[in-house]
Chains A and B, each alone.
Chain A
């Protein structure tokens, strides 16, 4: 100070000036820093806004829709808006008009806002989910800087599934990718937060259904309001997926299973198209959309009826008498018996020192192949099985596609078991006992199938030894042959005629005879092969027999084969009306189509060249 006073030269004054301005500059610099720290950068959002003046906002691509074979929508999307209030701009006297504008209870809303007052200010207050168009108009017209700038809209895409769990196991659902999935090979190229298909078609065709998210480069102000759109990469929506499912049949199948536990699967033998695919009980996939309460999830997981269990491809149960036609075919083809082979059924028979009962206590009397299939005589098939031998039975069952995965385009398929001597040595390191063959001959013992396998096995028989690969995706391409087998048509006809007699000649399925449709089929009543359900809370009901019915129509021109599993349904004939009604729906629809001039060959698939439909090769796995 003193030096300056004495320094009266011009350069001295200049130095003072420079010093002054320097001081001011430093002061301003410090002030700006203080401002940044204390005024602008307060709170998490503000600091984020600072670093992201140019932001890339993701534009979520809608997932492809899932359509039935006629293009009717099974799974849709809906965009919805969620309103949150940012706490920073919120003023007490805005609460009431906002509540009124959104038709909220003012007191409730004020209480909610008050609850948030103790939390950090970057917590936003959720106001309303799924805004209606009116509410959206209110929000948009009031959230400008001069009215209620604290209102923030968040847009999201949601999946819309059918209610009541229609086709829930087939479709599956989407959810956020989990930690475990992120680490797995299958989802290697996904990021945390991605929505992926968790089950069913949603999972298997995840890559096809998933679109490519777009991006919007925007310049935002400190309130995160978009000021300028710098560039835009539009979102590419996922491809629509057309399934082979027919919603008419699917609906009837679902209705037929109401109040039951079981599964229904319908296949067009000529193409392998899956026309209906139902597993009951189902679940509402809409529950998985958005936020699911943990109690709801717990309820689903702990439900003794296992609503999440996909019975069509995962339920491995003894097929019971529905296995007999394969035994008959094996016996005929191997020459173990001929069509005239007959047996006297007295209600039971003794083999290897053990008594095996027939389901009819009084016995069927003398039965031949035709009547034995029609009446489902166990004693007849004990004999046929013993004469044919386990390995021959296994050979023909495997030929029909049992005991291995069908290769359907759905995740999680189980293979079932077709026992043989080699199988027993491999799995149990024990030799096969002849007595075991007796049980297998009537579809009991170690033999287990899934409903899909059974339907697939029959579809090949009905298609004269040509098994078409079962598939869910209707991609417009010719159906693929999975494998073929050389079967004597005469032997095949004898077996199928027997199945015709089941329904049409007073057999075990007579209750589902229809005068205008030649429905053929086979009932099955099977004891539980596994004891898994015994452990559940179902109690006595879990000990009851499973009811099966395999049906097809017509005898001359088999267009559809339907398998119904009615778990603990006691008697095979109780599963028959399920199949009958699905087949009736099939022919009723054909009649409608004939009436309206639409293509009639339903089984041969109604296809319209759809450019944006998924093409093969896009399968995720």
Chain B
């Protein structure tokens, strides 16, 4: 709880740090996340709730703190995810582009290393991701399924929980950008 008492809203510009990753990490993490998405729910169907590609997108975006970079990261991860599913290419791409951009924009104003904030962002961006995807598939593809709010809330909660340790693992791979 103490972390919540910290000032998470205003990060003095001087304290804002930008992190960078090795190119290898840039490639490996998204690929692993997508592979996980493809492979693991086959054996543990309850894990299909996880949206690891989204979490990776959010993580990279908030650590880089550059909206264009966030958007690009989201775009690439989303397109990769699209290419393995059988919906038109660009659906996950667009959604993750927006999420990446927003996450990076948000990170400009907040302390992204605060666990509480990380949880809130994972939770919020998961919901945003699902809502955006649902809205896009309605608007662009003419889909007519209903939005499943309770499931989305539960999944967002779980993703948030998973995000905390996951992000800490990812933290080990980062290095401060010059």
List the interface of chain A (C-beta within 8 A of B).
32, 35, 39-40, 49-50, 53, 145-146, 219-222, 227-228
**Beyond A53-B144, A221-B144, 10 extra complex contacts between A and B, CB < 8 Å:** A35-B139, A35-B140, A40-B142, A49-B142, A53-B142, A146-B86, A219-B144, A222-B142, A222-B143, A228-B144
B40 at the interface (CB under 8 A from A): no
Q: Is the CB of A220 within 8 A of B144?
A: yes
Q: How many chain B residues touch A (Cβ–Cβ < 8 Å)?
A: 8
- Residues on A with C-beta less than 8 A from B143 are 221-222
Closest 7 CB pairs of A and B: A222-B142, A219-B144, A53-B144, A227-B144, A32-B139, A221-B142, A221-B144
B173 at the interface (CB under 8 A from A): no
List the interface of chain B (C-beta within 8 A of A).
86, 139-145
Interface centre among B142, B144, B145 (most CB of A within 10 A): B142
Q: Is the CB of B140 within 8 A of A40?
A: yes
Q: Is the CB of B145 within 8 A of A227?
A: yes
- Residues on A with C-beta less than 8 A from B144 are 53, 219-221, 227-228
Measured CA separation A220–B145 after assembly (Å): 10
Interface of A is mostly: mixed
Measured CA separation A219–B138 after assembly (Å): 13
Measured CA separation A40–B142 after assembly (Å): 8
Q: List 23 A-B contacts (CB under 8 A).
A: A32-B139, A35-B139, A35-B140, A39-B140, A40-B140, A40-B142, A49-B142, A50-B142, A53-B142, A53-B144, A145-B86, A146-B86, A219-B144, A220-B144, A221-B142, A221-B143, A221-B144, A222-B141, A222-B142, A222-B143, A227-B144, A227-B145, A228-B144
- Residues on A with C-beta less than 8 A from B86 are 145-146
Closest chain-A Cβ to B102's Cβ sits at a distance in Å of 12
Closest chain-A Cβ to B82's Cβ sits at a distance in Å of 16
Interface of B is mostly: loop
Measured CA separation A418–B140 after assembly (Å): 78
- Residues on B with C-beta less than 8 A from A220 are 144
Taking CB as reference atom, which chain B residue is nearest A228? B144
Measured CA separation A40–B141 after assembly (Å): 8
> Could you count the A-B residue pairs with CB atoms below 8 Å apart for me: how many are there?
23
Closest chain-B Cβ to A359's Cβ sits at a distance in Å of 82
Measured CA separation A9–B32 after assembly (Å): 46
Taking CB as reference atom, which chain A residue is nearest B143? A221
Measured CA separation A135–B143 after assembly (Å): 30
- Residues on A with C-beta less than 8 A from B139 are 32, 35
Taking CB as reference atom, which chain B residue is nearest A54? B144
- Residues on B with C-beta less than 8 A from A228 are 144
- Residues on B with C-beta less than 8 A from A146 are 86
- Residues on B with C-beta less than 8 A from A145 are 86
Measured CA separation A227–B86 after assembly (Å): 17
Measured CA separation A53–B145 after assembly (Å): 11
Measured CA separation A222–B145 after assembly (Å): 12
Taking CB as reference atom, which chain B residue is nearest A35? B140
- Residues on A with C-beta less than 8 A from B142 are 40, 49-50, 53, 221-222
Closest chain-B Cβ to A3's Cβ sits at a distance in Å of 25
Measured CA separation A250–B66 after assembly (Å): 91
Measured CA separation A49–B141 after assembly (Å): 12
Closest chain-A Cβ to B154's Cβ sits at a distance in Å of 23
- Residues on B with C-beta less than 8 A from A32 are 139
Measured CA separation A221–B144 after assembly (Å): 6
Closest chain-A Cβ to B50's Cβ sits at a distance in Å of 26
Closest chain-A Cβ to B145's Cβ sits at a distance in Å of 7
- Residues on B with C-beta less than 8 A from A35 are 139-140
Taking CB as reference atom, which chain B residue is nearest A53? B144
Taking CB as reference atom, which chain A residue is nearest B86? A146
- Residues on B with C-beta less than 8 A from A219 are 144
Closest chain-B Cβ to A398's Cβ sits at a distance in Å of 71
Measured CA separation A428–B86 after assembly (Å): 85
Measured CA separation A32–B135 after assembly (Å): 12
- Residues on B with C-beta less than 8 A from A40 are 140, 142
Taking CB as reference atom, which chain B residue is nearest A145? B86
Measured CA separation A50–B145 after assembly (Å): 15
- Residues on B with C-beta less than 8 A from A53 are 142, 144
Measured CA separation A35–B90 after assembly (Å): 14
Closest chain-A Cβ to B112's Cβ sits at a distance in Å of 21
Measured CA separation A53–B139 after assembly (Å): 13
Taking CB as reference atom, which chain A residue is nearest B141? A222
- Residues on A with C-beta less than 8 A from B141 are 222
Measured CA separation A50–B141 after assembly (Å): 11
Closest chain-B Cβ to A86's Cβ sits at a distance in Å of 15
Measured CA separation A50–B139 after assembly (Å): 11
Taking CB as reference atom, which chain A residue is nearest B142? A222
- Residues on B with C-beta less than 8 A from A227 are 144-145
Taking CB as reference atom, which chain B residue is nearest A36? B139
- Residues on A with C-beta less than 8 A from B140 are 35, 39-40
Taking CB as reference atom, which chain A residue is nearest B144? A219
Closest chain-A Cβ to B37's Cβ sits at a distance in Å of 20
Closest chain-B Cβ to A264's Cβ sits at a distance in Å of 61
Measured CA separation A228–B144 after assembly (Å): 9
Closest chain-A Cβ to B76's Cβ sits at a distance in Å of 22
Taking CB as reference atom, which chain A residue is nearest B139? A32
Measured CA separation A145–B144 after assembly (Å): 16
Taking CB as reference atom, which chain A residue is nearest B145? A227
Closest chain-B Cβ to A222's Cβ sits at a distance in Å of 3
Measured CA separation A220–B141 after assembly (Å): 12
Closest chain-A Cβ to B90's Cβ sits at a distance in Å of 12
